[in-house]
Each structure stands twice: as structure tokens, then as C-alpha cells.
């Protein structure tokens, strides 16, 4: 016949009481105390496990949120409210569109929740076969876009369906070769690819933190169609192109820049604006090494010999002298020549 744990406990207490001469009731109380202590210890262990479980739950929640931070791709424009016809495999020459999704609004993700922020810079990485080929910013200035969790971006669009460069609520910074981030740069990079299969990755990265990422494969024997597409994209973009906004007002400096451009062969300069907020310092070897010069950039529009208008972002330098001052202004780079409509020069 089986004995219950309570009967077993009482029997043990009785035997011990006979051996030690201690009342059985007292030993039973001791057993009860020991049982309570064991129960308390078990409860403490369970309580100690709860924070870890909560931590794991939070980490799981975080990972779940992060899974929503994706960059999506399609062969047709993507509706942010209802992304459809998505793919991660393209053939050379096909149109490519992108959509960035992030787990928080741009204001909270990159603007630290600042309610007074009027623009947010979104840092884009482009990598091909694991190598970075471009890093630059798209600046969001539209309030409704700043407070959203998506960003539509064109990679290799049909010019007629392109959204890049047309909305003044978004600014596209210039990078390598004075090419603007977006389809200008992206089709240039794709047009440079060698025949074969390539992995193309885009990511939103700031100081080592990746907030959203996506990758697709691109395969083909000829990537030159993207170079041709770029020319069509630029032609479309230039119909709405305007000069960058002035970031510094210095009439004397602007007059000197105009004179240097005229000496370089420019005629009928219609407008010039300094597009840097302050001088950039050039150091001998970076870091805290000695300053050797400083420079500024200015955008200038002029009339060409064929009667059409163009503009360039030009760079001007001043060399640092032995006495610590800076020498005369020099025109050191005239940038890429881009057409612009006359009516857009003063917009």
C-alpha cells in the first residue's frame, strides 16, 4: 500500500523522536519550516527567471520590429500603402524601383524625435558584390514624409514614371563625379557592371547602425542599356532641374568667383550662389594634421554658345600661407556641365 508524503513525514518524525528523545510534534514543526524554506527558494528561483524571460520577449519583439525594416524592389513603381509585384531577381536592362520601410518615423529614427525638425537626411549605401560603390543622402523636407515610415526611391526607372528629382520636398545630394544620388548615380553604376550575375544591396546606414536593408540579384551579358537609360533619365530630370539654394551670402566673394569663371571662358553668367555654409578645411594628411588650404563650392548658371543654358557646381580654393592667412581665391574645379531651362534658373 502506498503512503502519502504527509504520513511518511510523520513516521520519520516519530522514529527520530524515539532515537533522540525529542517530541514528535517539535520535529514535525521543523519539517514544516524546512518545507516552507524549500518552497520559498523555488519561488525565488522562478522570480529570478522572469526578468530574463521579459528580456527575451523584448528582444524577440525588437527582432520582430526589425524584420519590418526592409527595402523592397519591383520592376514597376511600388505603392507604399500596398507593395505588390515584388522581386529580388532582375535581368540586365530591366526597370528597378525601390521602397524603404523603417520601424519608426524618420523624425524619430534619424531626427531624435525633434518636433521642430524641418528636414531629415537619410543616408543611403549602395553595394555591389559586397563592395560599397556609393554613399550619399536624400534629404526629406516634406512634413508628412518626415513623419512617415517609408521612402520611395528610384533605381533604374522608366523616365516617364520617375519620381526622383521632381518633388522639391526631397533633395538629392551629389556624390562621386558630381552625380546625384538616385537614378543618376545608380544607373551609372549599373551601366559599369561586367557581364555576369551580381548582388546589389541597398541599406540605410548611420554611424554603423543599419536601419533598413534589401538586396537583389542582377544578371545579364550586357549592362550598357543602363548607361543609355541614364541619359534619358537626366534629360527628364533637367526639365525640372533648379539651382541649389544659397547657403552663404557674400557679395565680395561671389564677385570674385564670377571674375574667375569669366577668366576661364564663361560668358553671360546668369546666376551664382555659394552652396556651402562655411569653408571646408583641407589638411595635409587628415585628422589633426596641418591645414594646407580651404575651399568652397558655388553653383553657377550661364548661357552657352548654342543659346541654351547650363549650370555647374564649381570649387574654389585658397592656399594657406606661411603667416597663417589664406591666399587669393583660385578656381580649382568646374564640375559636370548640366543643362537647365532658363525659366528654372531663378526658382
pTM for the whole thing? 0.59
DSSP notation for 62-110: HHHHHTT-BEEEESS---TTS--SB-SEEETT--EEEEEE-SS-HHHHT
**pLDDT computed for residue 42 by the predictor:** 54
**pLDDT computed for residue 68 by the predictor:** 57
Could you tell me how many residues make up the chain?
347
Q: Residue 80 burial (CB < 10 Å; 0-12/13-18/19+)?
A: middle
**pLDDT computed for residue 209 by the predictor:** 93
**pLDDT computed for residue 275 by the predictor:** 92
**pLDDT computed for residue 26 by the predictor:** 43
Per-residue pLDDT in tens (0 to 9) along the chain, 347 residues? 333 434 444 344 443 443 344 444 444 444 544 454 455 445 445 444 433 333 333 333 333 344 457 999 999 999 999 999 999 999 999 999 999 999 999 999 999 999 889 999 999 999 999 999 999 999 999 999 999 999 999 999 999 999 998 887 899 998 887 789 999 999 999 999 999 999 999 999 998 899 999 999 999 999 999 999 999 998 888 776 788 889 999 999 999 999 999 999 999 999 999 999 999 999 988 778 999 999 999 999 999 999 999 999 899 999 999 999 999 999 999 987 888 889 999 98
Residue 154 is placed in which grid cell?
528610384
Contacts of residues 203-211 at CB distance under 8 Å and 24 or more positions apart, as own/partner, are 203/71, 203/124, 203/125, 203/127, 204/71, 204/100, 204/102, 204/122, 204/123, 204/124, 204/125, 205/123, 205/125, 205/135, 206/110, 206/123, 211/69, 211/102, 211/103, 211/109, 211/110
**pLDDT computed for residue 285 by the predictor:** 83
Residue in this structure with the C-alpha cell 597663417, named with its chain if needed: 324
**pLDDT computed for residue 123 by the predictor:** 97
Amino acid at each position: 500500500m502506498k503512503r502519502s508524503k504527509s504520513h511518511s513525514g510523520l513516521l520519520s518524525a516519530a522514529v527520530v523522536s524515539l532515537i533522540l528523545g525529542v517530541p514528535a510534534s517539535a520535529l514535525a514543526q521543523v519539517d514544516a519550516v524546512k518545507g516552507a524554506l524549500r518552497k520559498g527558494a523555488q519561488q525565488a528561483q522562478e522570480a529570478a527567471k522572469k526578468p530574463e524571460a521579459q528580456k527575451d520577449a523584448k528582444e524577440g519583439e525588437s527582432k520582430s520590429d526589425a524584420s519590418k525594416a526592409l527595402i523592397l524592389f519591383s520592376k514597376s513603381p511600388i505603392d507604399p500603402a500596398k507593395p505588390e509585384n515584388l522581386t529580388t531577381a532582375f535581368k540586365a536592362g530591366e526597370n528597378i524601383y525601390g521602397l524603404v520601410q523603417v520601424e519608426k518615423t524618420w523624425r524619430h529614427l534619424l531626427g531624435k524625435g525633434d518636433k521642430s525638425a524641418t528636414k531629415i537626411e537619410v543616408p543611403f549605401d549602395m553595394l555591389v558584390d559586397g563592395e560599397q560603390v556609393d554613399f550619399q543622402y536624400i534629404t526629406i523636407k516634406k512634413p508628412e514624409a518626415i513623419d512617415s515610415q517609408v521612402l520611395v526611391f528610384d533605381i533604374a526607372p522608366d523616365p516617364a514614371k520617375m519620381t526622383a528629382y521632381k518633388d522639391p520636398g526631397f533633395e538629392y545630394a551629389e556624390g562621386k563625379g558630381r552625380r546625384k544620388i538616385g537614378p543618376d548615380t545608380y544607373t551609372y553604376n549599373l551601366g559599369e557592371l561586367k557581364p555576369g550575375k551580381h548582388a546589389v544591396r541597398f541599406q540605410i546606414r548611420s554611424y554603423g547602425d543599419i536601419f533598413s536593408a534589401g538586396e537583389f540579384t542582377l544578371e545579364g551579358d550586357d549592362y550598357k542599356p543602363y548607361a543609355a537609360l541614364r541619359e534619358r533619365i537626366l534629360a527628364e530630370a533637367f526639365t525640372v532641374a533648379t539651382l541649389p539654394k544659397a547657403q552663404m551670402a557674400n557679395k565680395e566673394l561671389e564677385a570674385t568667383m564670377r571674375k574667375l569663371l569669366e577668366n576661364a571662358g564663361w560668358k553671360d553668367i546668369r546666376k551664382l550662389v555659394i552652396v556651402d555654409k562655411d569653408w571646408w578645411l583641407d589638411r595635409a594628411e587628415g585628422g589633426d594634421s596641418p591645414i594646407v588650404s580651404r575651399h568652397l563650392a558655388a553653383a553657377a548658371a550661364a548661357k552657352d554658345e548654342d543659346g541654351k543654358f547650363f549650370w555647374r557646381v564649381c570649387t574654389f580654393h585658397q592656399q594657406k600661407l606661411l603667416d597663417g592667412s589664406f591666399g587669393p581665391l583660385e578656381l580649382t574645379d568646374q564640375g559636370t556641365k548640366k543643362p537647365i531651362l532658363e525659366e528654372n534658373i531663378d526658382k
